[in-house]
Structure 1
């Protein structure tokens, strides 16, 4: 039964990755029998929020089941998981840029370093960003959040007693939200978003204890999210003028943060409701996407270059055929970097370092 529940997480992860591709690929207006169904593919940022929640569920699950909770094992495991495919993407981006320019291109060292140190965000949509995403790959913004979430989780798990850790997270995330209203920047933004990530911890704890998902089981943490939503509503009111600054205000400060937290709490409640109905229709809707899960991270970080901004198949005039080939090549590339390359490196480190990574 537990394996089937974890399989659902894999299916959602695969679906979320592919959905982000469709979000960037498909036009906003797709008419079907006179009805615009394009709006169904306008929630790419919400798919990223699902990644956050699913990610920490797995982190918490593996953390609790691991006998070795050392910094070395945890750091190496997370470092390799993030950076091995990511470095392949950086190389791909540079090669494609050189190909497009017909000579050795500018590697954009400053931006590359900013991304390697996980300081990147979408500079055109948020204030006080330290580094833009590398070579225009917008989805890389989420990796900086994910990486620092890993580090915050490790620190809290090792330094704070389990009985007090939820209180600490509640205080940290609410204080971050308050400071974000005063002055938004990378540190308080990450700590505030850690509140979304922590939803996965709460769900993982319930799962590990074999308890039932109910509204009561997540009631206390719901109050924390509601407080943050209220603070972000105030921030939207105070800084509404920024919506005229950005070209796409619905995915920019100060609206996008509120949108993310509202979706997160709806996803949390929605998961509990769907669980009560024994996940009716889940397999039919999402089951097939479990096959994308093993290389979903690769899909997520490569599709900008291999599908959205790709030009290497421009000799094909049929748009549907061309995009289909782009997607298939993206699947192949993602499988190679995430399953084969990362998988082999992980196995070798298992042998040389004698730790399970």
Structure 2
């Protein structure tokens, strides 16, 4: 399957942005002005979700083997091998005793990071915050091969996905549980599929239009929840629940609407990040490895040398894991 260079560039750019953002925001010595442009790592993760939906749709449609076994083997080896490596790196570089429950929860893809979200099952392993998104990705992978073949030719498929996400969001608000929250995000991931089919296939706007409307409905629900929450003597904090979830869906709306309705502007913005295509092959490794090395550990050495060493460690490990070991894992598990 031929890779889409634009998507690869976006993936590379988003991973580097998240990694640098975590590093800069963890440095108390830097000014607020310098830190401000890097406060949107959460939004970058939403880009990952949208790209994932598009890429899975594209690879599924172009692939000849659509059996469940082949699909899940490919997805499992791709997401789990770097994850296991990241867990080991956290054990090595983070000087805290880990919880067995937390480890098992992360291996079962039940993790989320602590931002005041009710219903959390376990936190990201040893505080490796970026791992939170993998539990969402894995759930989306689980749903796709059972849902897409059944509804792909149905005109009402956006109603199915939209109502599914709306219902799960309402249930989560009323009866908080991590699983319901993850399921409510399926509409964002599915949005990538819809824009992928729009640009690579049917060019019909009816489904993307409905997608935008369902996102607006969920945003409306979250705005009501946020307003009620902050009338209860809570201080407004944009990085915690429920405002954070509103940020996620709001940014997803901006991205998807921009792609659908402002195509030329979107293309111009994407052209700026073309060089990040070179980073894409190790972007997942950088994403899951950078936090315990760049943020959570401290090396007793000259500050400049420490920075260089940390960059080399993350880049080197990501390269070894993604470019050298992952192909071996792929051959071993077919």
User: Is the pair's TM-score, using the shorter chain for normalization, greater than 0.5?
Assistant: yes
**Equivalent of 2:120 in 105, 122, 129:** 129
Maintained 8 Å contact 1:177/1:192: yes
Gaps of 5+ in 1: 351-357
Give the CA deviation at 1:191.
1.4
Give the CA deviation at 1:241.
5.9
Matched, 1:256 2:253: no
Residue number in structure 2 paired with 1:317:
303
Higher relative CO (Cα under 8 Å, sequence separation at least 6) belongs to 2
Residue number in structure 2 paired with 1:327:
311
Which runs of structure 2 are paired with 1:19-38 in the superposition (5 Å)?
A: 19-27=17-25, 36-38=33-35
Maintained 8 Å contact 2:11/2:283: yes
Residue number in structure 2 paired with 1:355:
none
Give, in whole Å, the separation in 1 of the partners of 2:123 and 2:23: 22
The Cα offsets for residues 280-318 of structure 1, whole Å up to 9 and x where unpaired, read as: 3533x2111111111111111101112111223x21233
Give the CA deviation at 1:336.
0.9
Matched, 1:339 2:320: no
| Structure of larger gyration radius | 1
Q: TM-score, normalised by structure 1?
A: 0.85
Q: TM-score, normalised by structure 2?
A: 0.91
Which runs of structure 2 are paired with 1:1-357 in the superposition (5 Å)?
A: 6-27=4-25, 36-97=33-94, 100=95, 106-160=97-151, 162-163=153-154, 164-209=156-201, 211=203, 218-240=208-230, 244=234, 249-272=237-260, 275-277=263-265, 279-280=267-268, 282-283=270-271, 285-312=272-299, 314-318=300-304, 321-350=305-334
Stretch deviating more after TM superposition (88-97 or 193-202): 88-97
Query: 1:56/1:332 Cα in 2 relative to 1: closer, same or farther (>3 Å)?
Result: same
Name the SS of the counterpart of 1:280 in structure 2: helix
Give, in whole Å, the separation in 1 of the partners of 2:23 and 2:175: 34
Gaps of 5+ in 2: none
Name the SS of the counterpart of 1:347 in structure 2: helix
Name the SS of the counterpart of 2:241 in structure 1: coil
Equivalent residue pairs, number: 331
Question: What do you get for the CA RMSD once the two structures are aligned?
Answer: 2.5
Give, in whole Å, the separation in 2 of the partners of 1:109 and 1:344: 29
Give, in whole Å, the separation in 2 of the partners of 1:243 and 1:324: 45
Maintained 8 Å contact 1:242/1:254: no
Maintained 8 Å contact 2:208/2:260: no
